[in-house]
A and B are shown apart, each in its own frame.
Chain A
Amino acid sequence: MAILSQDEAQAILKKVLSFSKADECEATLNGETGGNVRSARNSISTSGAVDNVNLTVESRFGKRSGVATCNEFDDATLRRCVQRAEEIARLAPESPEYMPLLGPQQYAAAPQSFAKSTAGITPDYRAQQVGASMKICDEKKLSSAAFLNDEAGFVAKRNSKGLEAYQQLTNLEFSITVRTPDGTGSGYATADFNDSSKFDAAALTRIAADKAAMSRNAKALEPGKYTVILEPAALVANTDASLLQALMSALDARNADEGRSFLSKKGGGNKKGEKLFDERVTIYSDPTMVDVASLTFSGDGRPQKKTTWIEKGVVKNLYTSRFWAQKAGIPDLPRPSGWVMEGGTQSLQDMIKGTAKGILVTRLWYIRPVDPQTLLYTGLTRDGTFYIENGKIKHPVKNFRFNESPIIMLNNLEAIGKPVRVGGNLVPPLKIRDFTFTSLSDAV
């Protein structure tokens, strides 16, 4: 049931619109099916499965709007859902931020957002992948905790102004933390894909296991400013806040215009068009890219087109609601669902080779905002932190707490490596000078 075809979905949506008596009506179907397995101490701990389709109906009378939802699709239920949305709309006050529904739109094709391999995953497949991972750790006498989650879904949208959208999506994510039995070493690896045929739990497990073994008996370095190589998983996390995601989330036009963003200008206005980062920093979004294919339309039906957000260090665009775009007279750009930071050709190993003294960081953790004025964040290194000397990993180091702003960080750029996918984004490893570690942590 969960993955309706375009024809099946649009047939339901057409029926919904035929029941509408409102000035405007928009109907959206969201479906998802998938499952997960979680392991710890080299054994499966929990597992789960999801299978859902929901319909959301928004009805409008003038500037009044109401929403209702249902998850059954017989005529009587659909009719009731439309009526309920209309009843609620009639009682709502007029919205000063009302925008009429969008008419027909052109959306780019992103066929790679859906992979049959991922949609066909079974409980046995999950058990096999996680089983293979646990076997490696058993053999190496290491302890692992891992999570495998896969989902297939679709979004279909149709409104009374003629807008029509449909797309299918799949995603698989896996992460693993491997620890030494004495608790003195820990390593991490993660990956995510649209297409599960690219996934190999065993390969990722070996990376995490090697890091765990290598990180035993870490030495303490004094906190201070260090050159660091931040692996992609240290820059973007799919389970927590992260430095680059914090920066991307801050590219909101309204907050900038209202004076409560690092992009706000003294005296009013925003810093769009200003060079705020090293000229090698270019970040764009493109949902049609094969490696990070995602939805080509936003929740309100706007097309997600290729958009450059930061180009050669200059802030080129800010995302915005339709209301604010109209009010401020700025381009009407939805927030992207994923993004790409341009990189170079150097592998992580090449970057280590080119480093006289520095610290390799596998992962950053518990990252929280400290001061929105400067986008200052704090957090800690975790699961594999190593001292580099003369192009080689010399020894593991104890974990640090950092207090750093992605704005300062992207001005202290030494080198950019080859991007890899993390959390639906393409992220290169970055070498940063003067990264600020403010204290030591005993955590392993």
Chain B
Amino acid sequence: MKRRDFVGLTGLATGALFVPSIPGFGEGLAVDPLRLLDAADDPALKKRLADAALNAAKAAGATYTDVRIGRYLNQGVFTREKQVQNIVSSESYGAGVRVIANGTWGFAATNIVTEAGMAKAAQLAVQIAKANSVVQKEKVQLAPQQGFGEVSWKAPIQQNAFMVPIKDKVDLLLNANAKALENGASFVNSVLFQVNEQKYFASTDGSYIDQDIHRIWPTFGVTAIDRASGKFRSRQALSAPMGLGYEYLTPKAADKIAGPAGSDVVGYRNSYDMLEDIVRATKQVKEKLTAKSVVPGKYDLVLDPHHLGLTIHESVGHPLELDRVLGYEANYAGTSFATLDWKAKGAPYGSRQVNIVADKLQPGSLGAVGYDDEGVKTKEWDLIKEGKLVDYQKIRDQAHIVGQKESDGCCYSQSWQDVQFQRMPNVSLRPSATKMSVDDLVKGVEKGIYIAGNGSFSIDQQRYNSQFGGQVFYAIEKGKIAGMLEDVAYQTNTLEFWNSCAGSCDASDYRFAGFFNDGKGQPSQSSAVSHGSATTRFNGVNVINTARKI
């Protein structure tokens, strides 16, 4: 392909800068967008490089070694109103070597991906492990893991987003912005993020795993300003970051799921209609300027999956990370109320309607991979069954602590240069097994609020007390939507909240919310995760009014 055809923009685009990086989005070096089309290295070459590290570590005294050779590709297209702000294409390539020596972990990374460079990194990792072993008390115990030999896994995408000419992406975003401005938005930003992780894993267990993972996230923010009153409001996109290719941006009618009658909300499943959503967002953001301010009090909440995904993430996903439970995150992300002792008591986490499952398999989800970053084949497992906590999320060096013999396959590192550790898999609320539409769910609510989209969110370090906002809020009165509300946030306790769960819609309403940048660890690492759910009702939740005078 000619660079001009691929990289050049149409007359619609003005103001493009090609900048080196955007904080928080990939760590690579800026590259020509065409470079993102280069094929991944040959697995045979990567095997030779990995073996150099495995052998060097063994010779230096390691009892276990794994190697990750990673090529991480990112592209972001950033626009505001009628102009392109930035187009960022970046590539990060290198290798991380993790070893156990003297019963202690050691890790080193290098961007010199040659046999000599790999061997040097392996030796450094062993040196660090030995230095740290002097002050180490508990020896690392790894759950046994079979080697898989030479295998590969590819995300089931239809269209690699990096193959799409940049002008097509810019046109999509600027068209969306134009729709917002035509419909009365004061300002609009739109962005398209795309990620490709080409990861090669090898370990002394005998695995050589080649994987190709894709993610995409189109999003926007529309702002409306009433200059006379000085009031401004915004509404973000109801898209979800997904483990899909560019096909996510070809809207399909079957993927559009309407909210309750009278709400003017449409959610999206496996494809997204950006132009439609931005028109709706613009209409809603103008309405938000004059919407009734909520009267604080107890309400039955009906939460759409885009919103509920974040609540699941914060109040179920995080507290059930075993590293948090055990205290490994005490100095940063925090610990968990759901300790091993708490679990043993058998108190209900939620009502009997609450069935929450962890997985790294669901097609199109951000968590889906064939194998995790320590060579464990991925799976699905129950976390909460009929309201009762049954399991945690764990990796190889944690399984023995809870008396289990295998990892759950949720070890992840954001790049070759960061050490892998336990990260959240997809954590999803199972939909109702019996038929239930969103209108039927709302029908039973006397005094409630329907919330769509995730907004402000905050939760304590042990995951008890949380406060969540949203994108749009609608009053429910006597089983019907009764106009838009503003200044809504709910404050709740995790156990009260999940025990107030009164039921979900069925699988026809099920869809993902997702997050590209879940932060954990020191130095902090990002991970991407999806949360599936159907629209769900929670009874008697405390709603506050967030309006203030300054």
Residues in chain A within 8 A of chain B (CB atoms): 36-38, 40-50, 52, 54, 56, 65-71, 84, 87-89, 91-97, 123-124, 127, 130-131, 134, 143, 145-147, 149, 175-177, 179, 183, 186, 188, 239, 258-260, 262, 264-268, 365-376, 378-380, 382, 399, 401, 403, 405, 407-408, 438-444
Contact = CB atoms under 8 A, between A and B. Distances in A.
Interface string B331-347: 11011010100000000
Given A91-B3, A371-B487, A97 B460 contact: no
B16 A46 contact: no
B481 interface: no
B550 A56 contact: no
A193 B106 CA distance: 27
Contacts of A91: 3-4, 7-9
Contacts of A65: 17-18
Interface string B443-486: 00000000000001111111111010100000000000000000
A56 B20 contact: yes
A136 B473 CA distance: 51
Nearest to B339: A183
A298 B366 CA distance: 36
Contacts of A71: 29, 111
Contacts, number: 254
A268 B230 CA distance: 8
A47 B331 contact: no
Contacts of B523: 36, 48, 149
Contacts of A89: 18
B14 A147 contact: no
Nearest to A66: B18
A37 B15 contact: no
Contacts of A399: 460, 465
A399 B523 CA distance: 26
A123 B131 contact: yes
7 contacts: A41-B138, A48-B523, A67-B30, A95-B17, A127-B135, A373-B231, A373-B232
A309 B322 CA distance: 45
A258 B3 CA distance: 37
A372 B456 CA distance: 11
Contacts of B108: 49
A382 B9 contact: no
Interface string B26-51: 00011110000000000000000000
Contacts of A70: 29
Contacts of A262: 550
A259 B225 contact: yes
B128 A442 contact: no
A267 B549 contact: no
A444 B462 contact: yes
Interface string B526-545: 00000000000000001010
Contacts of B105: 45-47
A413 B4 CA distance: 59
A442 B334 CA distance: 13
A242 B317 CA distance: 24
B223 A260 contact: yes
Given A69-B20, A134-B135, A368 B331 contact: no
Contacts of B250: none
> Sorted from nearest, which 4 A-B pairs have the closest CB atoms?
A441-B465, A443-B462, A145-B330, A266-B230
B460 A371 contact: no
A179 B29 contact: no
Contacts of A179: 327, 330, 335
Given A260-B225, A399-B460, A408 B548 contact: yes
A370 B487 CA distance: 9
A145 B331 contact: yes
A49 B128 contact: yes
B88 to A, nearest CB: 9
Given A84-B32, A259-B225, A41 B326 contact: yes
Nearest to B230: A266
B124 interface: yes
Given A264-B232, A373-B231, A401-B491, A95 B16 contact: yes
B524 interface: yes
B550 A405 contact: yes
A48 B415 CA distance: 13
Given A44-B135, A95-B16, A366-B461, A371 B548 contact: yes
Contacts of B234: 260, 372
A268 B231 CA distance: 11
Contact of B328 (A145, A176, A268): A145
A149 B14 contact: no
Given A93-B14, A264-B230, A403 B29 contact: no
A44 B327 CA distance: 12
A84 B109 CA distance: 28
Name, among A56, A94, A371, A375, the residue most crowded by chain B CB atoms within 10 Å (CB to CB).
A371
B132 A44 contact: yes
Interface string B1-27: 001100111000111111110000000
B115 interface: no
A76 B124 CA distance: 30
Nearest to B19: A67
Interface string B105-119: 111110100000000
A401 B465 contact: yes
A93 B84 contact: yes
B4 A371 contact: no
Nearest to A268: B227
Contacts of A134: 135
Contacts of A44: 104, 132, 135-136
Interface in B272-312: none
Contacts of B469: 370
A46 B419 contact: yes
A46 B397 CA distance: 13
B493 interface: yes
Contacts of B331: 38, 40, 145-147, 175-177, 188
Given A96-B83, A124-B131, A443 B465 contact: yes
Contacts of A36: 522-523
A43 B417 CA distance: 23
Given A48-B419, A260-B187, A96 B14 contact: yes
Contacts of B159: none
Contacts of A439: 465, 491, 542
Nearest to A49: B108
A145 B107 CA distance: 19
A388 B223 CA distance: 44
Nearest to A267: B227
A331 B17 CA distance: 24
Contact of B459 (A46, A183, A366): A366
B228 interface: yes
B132 A37 contact: yes
A88 B18 contact: yes
A194 to B, nearest CB: 19
B297 to A, nearest CB: 14
A301 to B, nearest CB: 15
A51 B217 CA distance: 31
A293 to B, nearest CB: 22
Given A175-B331, A259-B225, A267-B227, 14 more contacts: A43-B138, A44-B104, A44-B135, A56-B30, A88-B18, A175-B332, A259-B232, A266-B230, A372-B232, A374-B549, A380-B460, A403-B546, A442-B462, A443-B337
A373 B107 CA distance: 45
B329 interface: yes
A69 B29 contact: yes
Given A69-B29, A260-B225, A440-B465, A41 B460 contact: no
Interface string B159-192: 0000000000000000000000000001100000
Contacts of A175: 331-332
